Structure 1
Amino acid sequence: MSATSHQKRRRVLAAAAGLTTVGALVAAMPAGAHDRGNGHGHDHGYGYGRTVDVQLLSFNDLHGNLQPPAGSAGRVTHTNEDGTTRTIDAGGAEYLATHLREARKGNRYSITAAAGDMVGASPMLSGLFHDEPTIEALNKLKLDVTSVGNHEFDEGAKELARLQYGGCHPVEGCYEKKANGKPKTFRGADFPYLAANVTNEKSGRPVLDPYFVWEKNGVKIGFIGVTLEGTPDIVSAEGIKGLKFGDEIETINKYTKVLERKGVKSIVALLHEGGAPASASYNYNCDSPGPGDGISGPIVDIAKKVSPQVDALVTGHTHQAYACSIPDPSGKPRTVTSAASFGKLYTDTTLTYDRRTRDIVRTSVASANHVVTRDVPKAADMTQLIDRWNTLAAPIANKPVGYISADIENPADAPERPAGNLIADAQLEGMAPADKGGAQLALMNPGGIRAGLVHKASGSEGDGVVTYGEAFTVQPFTNMMTAVDLTGAQLITTLQQQVSGPNQAAPKILQVSKGFTYTLDMTKTGADRIVTSSVKLNGEAIDPAKTYRVAMNEFLAGGGDGFAVLKEHKNKLVGASDLDLLNAYFAAHSTPAAPLAPPATGRITVVK
């Protein structure tokens, strides 16, 4: 059966189960045709009162983390009643499945939705197979709908379409075989990916469905999915060629009117953009002292301008945890949520639906984040899925590539990270030979470093062994490396763009190779945070008029992450992939008897 036939079959089955896709809306039954309520009273999930409680379970930024995330990436912070904090190990698809299935019990009306970045920047178990394992896991989780995120475009729109509709990888083919030995075709997602604000530049049409309507017993809830307008700044330019990313607010408001004209009054926006709560604790009250007072960032402005007809916003991208009430344009509090990242949390929101008005009773909306703890039974079907794909990956994943003497950490809140220093040093060494580019220094974008390296791993692996799979998890993008010419003035501008322009509110501090040093003065604002006189290479001040050879991945060389000046480079030479250089560095500098020590910090001096 073709991929298209598979998708059509799934949509027919979905419609029969009470799920209405965009294509089926035109044939939807008249309003009230499924309404068996008695016109008064509260339903409590049984289907007969005027109002009915609809459970909305949501999460975001899974990034293909099917196995429990390691180290600090797999922990959440809880604030106790006395103000002290504790950390909880969390995440893993086997546990997420158990928690979601338990949460659904007793809820006749239950929807599961997500806010993008389900795939991309994934650990090797999923990334090696272009995230087919994650889509399969999400199907088993009974995900009803998700928006796209920026990482859904890491491999381009065609690959995203393959994940949605099915079919084997165009280059690598089918990864699995049937019992008869024939290739097993990847079936694609059973849930719709929504991309309302991602349009084809020529046709102006969304590349995927802009909205989705969930329906059961006459209860209809519409979902509009968008990613952040700034997606082109944070993904490879090649992957989004021919696409346009529209304004989030304008797009949501546009399709809110479309849904209203179709009789859908209850609306949830799935938005891959987020905010930053004042506390890192998942149970922080961001509505103290007033609604939304404890959260900042892009989502605040967006939420205040999105149509009041939207009843809740499920958000993501910032990897933060919050369940806030941010006032809508009419001043009425509206629920805005995010469940951190990597499947460590899920959000449980109660939407009270009024059958007479066909709208959500906003005063009755309640929402909270819950930890995906690892003290519950593992979901057997998820364990089987993980074991199956691990078996396929094992010959590559378990191959040792190096040895370390201690954890090499990747603290997301630190300007300089040991893992970042390691990667930058590996890139410099790989691109320094004259025939490889002649690089004098290397720059690495912090968002490209997805994990640290843990010295003492679980399972049968010996302490200090770094496998190919672990190295892949640190750098899963497999970006090609480049060596380019930049003037000293452009280098200084690059450092200034870390903390100014698009990056002023949320600085993106580049990781730098050994020998390149400077001072970051956080008591100042914008570009002034870079002390230009402190910028040195091997102890010598950077000369604005001099030309330097700089190693960086193609994402940065294309101006990614707001570093527009890097697009002005000259004399580009393309080298090996970033992962190849990291593995080569391990091979050159570590043995079982002499493991590699974590690189020292001190390249960036921070003044607070």
Structure 2
Amino acid sequence: MKNKPICPERNGGGRLRLEAVTLSVQSRRMIRQLLAIPLALGLAACATVPRPVSERAPEPVTVRIIGLNDFHGALEPVQRPITLEDGQGGRQEVYAGGAAWLAGAVARLRAQNPFNMAIGAGDLISASPLASSLFLDEPTVGVMNRVRLDFTSVGNHEFDRGWRELKRLREGGCEKFTLRQPCAVEPDYKGTDYPILAANVRMPDGSTLFPGYGIKRYGSGADAVAVGVIGLTLKGTAQIVAPAGIEGLTFEDEAQSINALVPRVLADGADAVVVAIHQGLVPETGDSFTGCGAMAGDLRAILEQLDPRIDLVISGHTHKAYVCDFAQVDPARRFTVTSAGSAGTLLTDIAVTIDPRRDDVTAISARNVPVQSAGGGRPVNPGFEAFEPNAEVAAYVARYVAAAAQVADRPVGRLSGPARRGGAGSSLGNLVADAQLAATRGAGAQVAFMNPGGIRSDLTAREGGVVTFGDIYAVQPFGNTLVTMSYTGAQLLQILEQQFANPNEPKILAVSDGFTMTLDPARPAGQRVVRAALNGQPIDPAATYRITLNNFIAAGGDGFAAFRQGTDPVVGPLDLDAIEQYLRAGEVIQVPSAGRVTVVGE
């Protein structure tokens, strides 16, 4: 530890504080113990005023923190109940989500302690249902303002419409950066009331796009405490968003960015250090939604490098729910790690107890709480808390739902049954790929590929098999453009290998009719494509193939850098227009079966 002359400065409540201390990265609690050594031993030259004997010693202070992540503009409750596992083989279903119920739940959780805050861990916007996405997610910002969100980190989806549009969403105004018109419902759109944090997102001049951290302070005098929040996205954001929207930005290493800020946050008076990071863990099947089993996933390697003085990590990105004690992995890193699923169906209720005398966290407890939104034919599960919808937020959401209804309710075709998005070679993925191939045959397309992350919800036909524009918009809300390009068979095989670029999160492409592939993730890198064929014929490395894909993966998104090798591009329609045209082409469109893609071991 670097030593330098220090004099304590008495604050307004009579408690001694140390200012301008330079410390090396060691165990936070060890450092705090050193600071508790009687000050007279090292500060004989400093004059202090002794505390009167009758003065009350400050009591421990609890700050209630509500964590949320991956809201994705889910203004209305999810259509089907979510399944919650208890980690012991039991499971329950509960109807959950909806902005009005979320607001009610946040208010009830806040009410447990007078000192409280709500923190988001990214992807609050984009990949959203029509009522939010159609209006550039301005209504989601309006909801979070009404919930009184205190901080949120950026996530990868915050960059879907480009960083300039994200800045507008933060700062307000109606400057147009997208195909859609901003301020369509609220002409005086004011932006977020809460800071957006981006500790690892650098502009060309070296500054961060948004501040890296913020601090919220509570109480006064001897009872004063402060919570510092560091916010950031995953370093791999550059590989999973459209390059044009992040041109000039650099996404830096997560652990290095966090660790560089911890001393600054502590020097700024924080008693507790919270990290809100848009990266996550992947629990094992059957793990409790409010507990923790095996800690796998890309976040783990980051956690293993973090400054031990961190107290709490609120995470996201994987859409999983967990509450983990990382001390079980590394006793030197005694922080809690949480995630609250997605779409506002869960919140994490966290109690952080701080001892003002030691300027340190003494205890943390956390649990995931389903945002149960029963009513309107949605039965109550008595095993979980039931929340009342916030009337103001309900009215606000209804305003946007009504504005979108004329567009959303327009029929576009009929399906033979539901098309699901889950798993490799899903029926919905196949349907989308078939639609894109049909829309680009004129450009010579022989096969179409669809990335799984571009499909955001199931496609469930209504009465009579009717599918509306709102239904297909929920499936593909990004407004991507189709492009058809030429690739050699060798390039195509290289592309298919890149489905496993991240072994923790493979991106298995959906394929159009006539194309089949067998994949074995257990094989060494470069050998995982066991077989790929078009119309029954194995892909010929020397042949040339015309392939259709959306502009996101055509530019290398989702880790498919080899797609950038394509030549002779022909730009086609929007992906949404392609599927609408496909659904209109027949009386009833048959949902394709799965089976075009085989993954060994699944």
Q: CA deviation at 1:489?
A: 0.8
> CA distance change for structure 1 residues 307 and 523 in 2, over 3 Å: closer, same or farther?
closer
Q: Which has the larger radius of gyration?
A: 2
* 1:453 has 2:450 as partner: no
Pick the aligned partner of 2:538 from 522, 541, 561: 541
| Rounded Cα–Cα distance in structure 2 between residues aligned with 1:480 and 1:145 | 34
Contact 1:198 1:243 in 2 (8 A): yes
The structural deviation recorded for 1:344 is 1.0
Q: Residue 557 of structure 2 corresponds to which residue in structure 1?
A: 560
Distance 1:486 1:215, change over 3 A: same
Unpaired segments ≥5 residues, structure 2? 1-8, 17-35, 37-55, 375-386
Report what 1:197 is aligned to: 200
1:46-81 deviations in Å (ceiling 9; x for gaps): x9843111111101000101111234xx51323375
Distance in 1 (alpha carbons) for counterparts of 2:353 and 2:285: 29
- Alpha-carbon spacing, 1:383–1:299, altered in 2? closer, same or farther (3 Å): same
Aligned mates of 1:94, 1:204 — CA distance in 2: 40
The alignment status of 1:285 with 2:294, answered yes or no, reads: no
Residue 102 (1) aligns with residue 101 (2) = no
| 2:269 alignment partner, SS class | coil
Separation in structure 2 between the aligned mates of residue 252 and residue 366 of structure 1, nearest angstrom:
23
Q: Using the alignment, how far apart are the partners of 1:391 and 1:85 within structure 2?
A: 36
Who is 2:378 aligned against?
A: none
Aligned counterparts, 1:50-449, within 5 A: 50-71=59-80, 75-79=82-86, 83-170=89-176, 172-176=181-185, 184-201=187-204, 203-217=205-219, 218-279=224-285, 281-283=287-289, 285-286=291-292, 294-327=294-327, 331-361=332-362, 364-375=363-374, 376-411=387-422, 414-433=423-442, 437-449=443-455
Distance in structure 2 (CA, Å) of the matches to 1:343 and 1:106:
20
Aligned partners of 2:100 and 2:394 also within 8 Å: yes
TM-score (norm 1): 0.84
- For 2:64, give the aligned amino acid: Q
Out of 225-234 and 271-280, give the one that drifted further: 271-280
Q: Do residues 606 (structure 1) and 602 (structure 2) align?
A: no
Q: Is the 8 A contact 1:166 1:187 kept in 2?
A: yes
Q: Which amino acid aligns with 1:403?
A: R
The one-letter amino acid paired with 2:320 is Q
1:528 is displaced (CA, Å) by 2.5
Q: Which residue of the partner structure matches residue 44 of structure 2? A: none
Contact 1:117 1:150 in 2 (8 A): yes
Distance 1:463 1:385 in 2: 32
Distance in 2, matches of 1:199 and 1:467, equals 41
SS at match of 2:526: helix
Provide the C-alpha distance between the structure 2 equivalents of 1:33 and 1:440, rounded to a whole number of angstroms.
74
- Asked if structure 2 preserves the Cα contact closer than 8 Å seen for 1:403 and 1:466, the reply is yes
Identity level (%): 39
Judge conservation of contact 1:265–1:309 (CA < 8 Å) in 2.
Answer: no
Q: After the TM superposition, which of the residue ranges 48-57 and 301-310 deviates more from structure 2?
A: 48-57
Asked if structure 2 preserves the Cα contact closer than 8 Å seen for 1:308 and 1:329, the reply is no
TM-score, scaled relative to structure 2: 0.85
Q: 1:306 to 1:600 in 2, by over 3 A?
A: same
Deviations 1:412-463 (A, max 9, x none): xx11111100110000000111xxx21100011100000011224xxxxx44
CA distance in 2, matches of 1:550, 1:48: 72
User: Partner residue of 1:504?
Assistant: 503
Partner Cα distance (2:556, 2:182) in 1: 32
What is the rounded CA distance, in whole Å, between the counterparts of 1:354 and 1:32 in structure 2? Answer: 16
CA distance in structure 1 between the aligned counterparts of 2:432 and 2:565, rounded to whole angstroms: 24
1:550 aligns with 2:547: yes
Give the RMSD, CA atoms, in angstroms: 2.1
Cα shift readout 1:281-339 (whole Å, capped 9, x = no counterpart):
5536325xxxxxx1101211111211111111000111111110113876243101111
| 1:368 partner amino acid | R
Query: CA separation in 2, counterparts of 1:106 and 1:211?
Result: 26
| Alpha-carbon distance between aligned partners in 2 of 1:205 and 1:538, rounded to the nearest angstrom | 52
Aligned partner of 2:517 in structure 1 is: 518
CA contact (8 A) 2:87 2:286 kept: no
Cα distance 1:117–1:597, how it changes in 2: closer, same or farther (>3 A)?
same
Q: Give me the whole-angstrom Cα distance separating, in 1, the residues matched to 2:157 and 2:123.
A: 5
Q: Deviations over 1:539-591 (max 9, x none)?
A: 111110111000001111111111111111111111111111011111113x3
Aligned partners of 1:166 and 1:186 also within 8 Å: yes
Letter in 1 for 2:440: M
* Residue number in structure 2 paired with 1:579: 576
Q: Hey, what's the Cα distance between the residues in 1 that align with 2:524 and 2:92?
A: 33
- Offset of residue 173 of structure 1: 4.4
Distance change in 2, residues 1:105/1:262 (3 Å): closer
Q: 1: CA distance between counterparts of 2:235 and 2:295?
A: 20
Structure 1 423/35 Cα, relative in aligned 2: closer, same or farther at 3 Å? farther
CA contact (8 A) 2:225 2:270 kept: no
Which letter maps to 1:401?
A: V
1:211–1:284 Cα change, 3 Å: closer
Aligned position for 1:15 = none
Amino acid at match of 1:569: G
Note the C-alpha offset of 1:349: 1.1
**Cα distance in 1 between the residues matched to 2:389 and 2:300:** 37
Structure 1 residues 358-402: Cα deviation after superposition (integer angstroms, max 9, x where no partner): 2212xx211111111123332211221121011211221111111
- Structure 2 Cα separation of the partners of residues 438 and 198 of structure 1: 40
Structure 2 letter corresponding to 1:417: S
- On the 8 A contact 1:76/1:281 being kept in 2, the answer is no
Aligned residues: 535
**Cα gap change, 1:386/1:598 in structure 2, threshold over 3 Å: closer, same or farther?**
same
User: Are the aligned partners of 1:78 and 1:88 in contact in 2 as well (CA < 8 Å)?
Assistant: no
Distance in 2 (alpha carbons) for counterparts of 1:48 and 1:161: 45
Q: Which AA in structure 2 matches 1:601?
A: A
| Letter matched to residue 539 of structure 2 | I
State the secondary structure of the residue aligned to 2:485. strand
Instruction: Give me the whole-angstrom Cα distance separating, in 1, the residues matched to 2:526 and 2:111.
Output: 53
